[in-house]
Structure 1
Amino acid sequence: MKQLLIFIYFTLFSTFSYANAQINDAKSCFRGAAESHEKWASFLYAKNKKFNKAGSITHFPASKFNQRKDTLDCIDFTYHVDGFTVEGYYLKPKQHINEKLPLVIFNRGGNAEYGYVGFEKKMDFIADIASGGYAVIGSQYRGSSSGFIANNGKDEFGGSDVNDVTALVDLAATMPDVDTSNIALVGWSRGVMESYLAATKLKNIKAIVSIAGNADAAKALELRPEMEKVYHARIPNFAANRANELNKRSVIKWLDKLPANSPILLIHGSDDQKVSVEQSKLLATALSEQAYPHKLIIYAGDDHGLRKNRADLIQQTLDWLDNYLKPSIQ
C-alpha cells in the first residue's frame, strides 16, 4: 500500500505525460540555497568571498525575489530525447487571466556547461517574459549536465541538440494551461541559431526574437576565429565537413526554410565583442530583400549582455510577443 501511495504521489506531482513526452523529477527552482533571498545571498557569498553583496541586493533585492516566488511557478525537470536524459526548466504565472498561456521557448547561449541557465538567469530576463503572461520553457541542451547526470549526451552546437528544443513543445502540451498552438522562439547568442533551426521543424511559430546572434557562421569565424576550437570539439566530423556544417548553422543560407508567418525581431549591441552587430545587419538586409517581416534594433555602445539597455530590451521583447501572440488584446 505504501509503495502504491508513493507511486501515485510521484505520478501526480513529479511527472506530466503526453504521448511519449514526460516531464520528470519536477522540482521548484526555489529550493535549497534558493529557498529564500537571505539563503541565496549567503550562498553566493560563501561561494565567492569577493561577492558584491551590496550590489547584488540592489540588482536583485528581497522584494523582487519574493515577488518572483509569489507570482511565478519556476520548475526544474529532466526529460528524455534520443535516449539521453536532458535538463529543462519552465516558468509561468501562478495566476493568469487568459484561459491558456502562449508558449515561449527560450534558447540559451554558450556550449555544453558554459552558459548553463542557473537560478539567477531564470530570475532575470526569463522571469521578465513569464511575468508578461507567458509560459517560458527552455532546455539546458544535452552535454551541459554530464557532470551529474548519467547518459546526458554530447552538445553538437546546432546538431542533434536541436531535438532537445523541439521536444519542449510536447512537454509543454502536458500542461493544461499552456497553448502549444501559439508559440514564439526567443534566442540569445548561440540560442538564436537554435531558434532558427527549430523553427524549420516546428509548427505554430508566431514570432521569433533573436538577440545578439549569428546569421552566417563562416563570416562570424573571420571576426572570432577562436570559435573554431568550439566547432571542432562539438560538431561531429567538423574537420571533414567544415563548409557544409557551417552552412547548416547559418540561417542566411536557408531563409526559405523559415516559417512564412513568423516575424523576426533582431536585437544587438553595437559594441558586441562576441557576436558582431554586422551579423544582425546582414540578416536584416537579407530579410528585407525577401520581404520577410522583421525589425532591427541596435543599442549604441552596448555589449553582448545588453545590460545598459535591459529595461528597453525587455519592453521591446514583450511588445513583439504581445503583438503576435496576443493580437486580440492589442
Structure 2
Amino acid sequence: MKLFLVFFYLTLISIFCHANDGINDSRSCFRGSFESHESWIAYSATKKNFNKERFLAYFPKSKFNERKDTLECVDFTYQVDGLTIEGYYLKPKQHDNKKLPLVIFNRGGNADFGYVGFNKKMDFIADIATHGYMVIGSQYRGASTRFIQNNGNDEFGGNDVNDVIALVTLAESIPNVDSANIALVGWSRGVMQSYLAAKKLKNVKTIVAIAGNADAEKALVIRPEMERVYQARIPDFQSDRANQLAQRSVIKWVDRLPADMPILLVHGSEDKRVNVEQSLMLAAVLSEQAYPHKLVIFAGGNHSLDKNRSELIELTINWLDNYLKPK
C-alpha cells in the first residue's frame, strides 16, 4: 500500500511538472486595444506625446491589416527556475509544412524598462518574421512583477540568461519550427544576452549584435550612470564588481563563443547610450583572432537607429538569409 501511494504521488508530481513545462496562457497579440487599427490608435492617443500623423505615416491601416492577416503573434508565459516568465513569438501563417528558421530576439533595457509591447512587436520584430522566420523573445524575469507575482528579479546578465536559453525548448513545441537552425538577434543589453546564451546553446548559426556593449567596465567610463543599474540588478556587485563586469563583457571571453559563428556588428556613430567604440573594439579583437564578422556603422545613427530602419532591416534579413537559409 505504501509503495502504491508513493507511486501515486510521484505520478501526480510528474503530471503537474509536465503541465508547467512549455508554453502556458497563450493569447493572440491582436486582442483588446490591439484588435484593430482604430482601437490601437485610440489606445495610443491616451499616451503622452502621441503624434497621430507620424504614427499613420509609419503604420497605416493597410500595414496593420497585412500583419494581422499574415502573421501569427502570440503572448505566453513559461516556467524557468521555478519562476513565471513572459514571452512572445511571431511567425508567418503557413499553408504548408515548411520549416521556419528560429530567431531569438533579445531586447534591451532592464526590469520593465524596455518591455516589448505591441508597438515593438509590430516593428523590427515583425519585419523579421514577415521574411519567413519564427521570432521568439523573452521579457526576462523581473519585467512583469506588476501582474505576475512569481516573476523574480532581473540580474542583468545573470540567471535571466536562462530565460533566453529556455526559448529553444519552447520553440520545439511550435509547429514547423527548425530549432536546429538558430540566430540570436540582440539590441543594446540584448546583445550581452545573446553572447551569454550562445556559450550554452547548440545550433546557433549567427548573431546580429545591434548597439551593444562589449566591455562593461569601459562602457561605464562613457556612461557612469549605468553603475546604479548594475548595483540594483547584479547580485554581489558591490563585493565582486570586477568579476561581475568581466562575466558580462564578451571581449574578455571571445574564445568561448561557438567557433566559426559569424557575428554582424551594427552601430550608430552618434549613439549616446552605448558608444560606437564598443563595437569598434570588439571588431578589432575579432579580427585579431580571425573570427568571422562584419562591422556596419550608420553615420549619424542614434541608439534606436530611427533614421536607418529600412537599411537595418535589409541588412539584417540579408545576413539571416545567408546563414539560416543556405542556397
User: What range describes the TM-score normalised by the shorter chain of this pair?
Assistant: over 0.9
Q: Look up the match of 2:38.
A: 38
Q: Secondary structure at the match of 2:158?
A: coil
The size of the alignment, in residue pairs, is: 311
When normalised by structure 1's length, the TM-score is: 0.92
Q: Which amino acid aligns with 1:294?
A: H
Q: Is the 8 A contact 1:81 1:163 kept in 2?
A: yes
Instruction: State the match for 1:110 in structure 2.
Output: 109
Paired with 1:19 and 1:202, the residues of 2 have a C-alpha distance of 24
Rounded to whole Å, the distance in 1 between the matches of 2:211 and 2:287 is 19
Q: Structure 1 residues 281 and 96 mapped into 2: Cα distance closer, same or farther (>3 Å)?
A: farther
Structure 2 distance, partners of 1:223, 1:19, is: 47
- Which secondary structure does the structure 2 equivalent of 1:236 belong to? coil
Q: Tell me, in whole angstroms, the C-alpha distance in 2 between the residues paired with 1:20 and 1:197.
A: 26
Whether the 8 Å contact between 2:92 and 2:134 is mirrored in structure 1 is yes
Q: Distance in 2 between matches of 1:86 and 1:262?
A: 29
Matched-pair identity in %: 69
| 3-state SS of 1:327 partner | coil
Distance 1:176 1:315 in 2: 27
Aligned partners of 1:96, 1:306: CA distance in 2, in Å? 35
| Whole-angstrom CA distance in 2 between matches of 1:116 and 1:291 | 36
In the other structure, the counterpart of 1:162 is 161
- 1:68-83 to structure 2, matched below 5 A, reads 68-83=67-82
The 3 A distance-change label for structure 1 pair 251 and 19 is: farther
Equivalent residue letter for 1:269: G
Name the aligned partner's letter for residue 234 of structure 2.
I
The aligned runs of 1:5-16 (5 Å cut-off) are: none
Q: Deviations over 1:287-306 (max 9, x none)?
A: 00111000000000110000
The answer as to whether partners of 2:268 and 2:297 remain within 8 angstroms in 1 is yes
Q: How far 1:196 moved relative to its partner?
A: 0.1
Q: What is the TM-score of this pair, normalised by structure 2?
A: 0.93
Instruction: Kindly state the Cα deviation for residue 176 of structure 1 after the two structures are TM-superposed.
Output: 2.3
The aligned residue for residue 285 of structure 2 is 286
User: Does structure 1 conserve the Cα–Cα contact (< 8 Å) formed by 2:20 and 2:79?
Assistant: no
Given that 2:191 and 2:210 are in contact with CA atoms closer than 8 Å, whether structure 1 keeps it comes out as yes
Q: Which amino acid aligns with 1:39?
A: S
Given the alignment of the two structures, is residue 258 of structure 1 paired with residue 257 of structure 2, yes or no? yes
In 2: Cα distance, 1:279 partner to 1:242 partner:
20
C-alpha contact 1:84 1:153 (8 A) present in aligned 2: yes
Provide the alpha-carbon RMSD of the alignment.
Answer: 1.4
In the alignment, structure 1 segments of 5+ residues that lack a partner are 1-16
2:303 counterpart letter in structure 1: H
Contact 1:21 1:170 in 2 (8 A): no
Greater Cα shift, 214-223 or 94-103: 94-103
Structure 1 counterpart of 2:25: 25
1:20 and 1:145, CA in 2 relative to 1: closer, same or farther beyond 3 A? closer
In the other structure, the counterpart of 2:135 is 136
Q: Which letter maps to 1:252?
A: I
Are the counterparts in 2 of residues 18 and 173 from structure 1 also a CA contact under 8 Å? no
How many angstroms does 1:124 deviate by? Answer: 0.2
Q: Distance in 2 between matches of 1:167 and 1:313?
A: 28
AA aligned to 1:314 is I
Instruction: Report how far residue 182 of structure 1 moved.
Output: 0.2
Taking the aligned partners of 1:51 and 1:20, their CA distance within structure 2 comes to 39
SS at match of 1:99: coil
1:96 CA displacement? 6.4
Cα offset for 1:46? Answer: 2.5
| More moved, 246-255 vs 51-60 | 51-60
Q: What CA distance in whole angstroms lies between the structure 2 residues aligned with 1:308 and 1:25? A: 37
Aligned counterpart, 2:210: 211
CA distance in 1, matches of 2:293, 2:321: 15
| One-letter amino acid matched to 1:161 | D
Map residues 1-330 of structure 1 onto 2, 5 A cutoff.
21-48=21-48, 50-95=49-94, 99-328=98-327
**What is the CA distance between 1:271 and its match in structure 2?**
0.1
For residue 177 of structure 1, report the CA deviation from its aligned partner: 0.5
Q: For residues 173 and 300 of structure 2, what CA distance do their matches in structure 1 show? A: 43
Letter in 2 for 1:268: H
Structure 2 CA distance for partners of 1:275 and 1:241, relative to 1, 3 Å: same
- TM superposition outliers: structure 1 runs of 4+ over 6 Å: 17-20
- Distance between the aligned counterparts of 2:295 and 2:319, measured in 1? 12
1:92-126 CA distance string (max 9 Å, x none):
00026672000000000000000000000000000
CA distance in 2 between counterparts of 1:200 and 1:282 reads 20
